[in-house]
Amino acid sequence: MKKTLHTLLLALLIIPTTGISLVSCSDDASESVSPQISRKEARAQLKKKGIKKKQYDDALFSAALKGDCDLVQLLIIAGADVNKRHVLSSEEYSTSRTPLSIAISSGSSSPSAKRMVVKYLLAAPDINPNVTIDTENDSISILEFAERQGMTEIADMLRAAGAK
């Protein structure tokens, strides 16, 4: 399973993700997360980067994994599905993740980038903050996972978004 998961994650990482500045991805909690550009403009910028509309969902998964908050913002504005599940499976194990769960559970980004990605995902109009994550022994809510990992600020953001 680990080899399969590793291969999938490496494949997702090859989607281009060079920086695009929209709203600064700072750690200022008072900063607005409302879109500063139109959907049409976001799609045009993604097209220039070589990301086609059919790739938006996978690109969002990859950007969440990397902690690329600029690209996360752009993809959300362009219409990527923030609740899409990516299924990872092998003969022994199967799990599925959303961009939110991968952003929180991934160790691939700095704590501040992780917080900003979560902030932008939770600001998406149709986000489901009540996703689960599979651990070695069971399936738990992403809120419980954040609490177990000591991510108190992220847990507070999840609660504010309606996570239980």
Asked whether the predicted pLDDT for residue 49 surpasses 90, the reply is yes
pTM, entire model: 0.78
Domains of the chain: 2-13+35-160 (1.25.40.20)
The pLDDT value recorded for residue 25 is 62
Asked whether the predicted pLDDT for residue 65 surpasses 80, the reply is yes
What is the pLDDT confidence band of residue 2, given thresholds at 50, 70 and 90? Answer: very low
Separation between Cα atoms, residue 138 and residue 118, nearest integer Å: 23
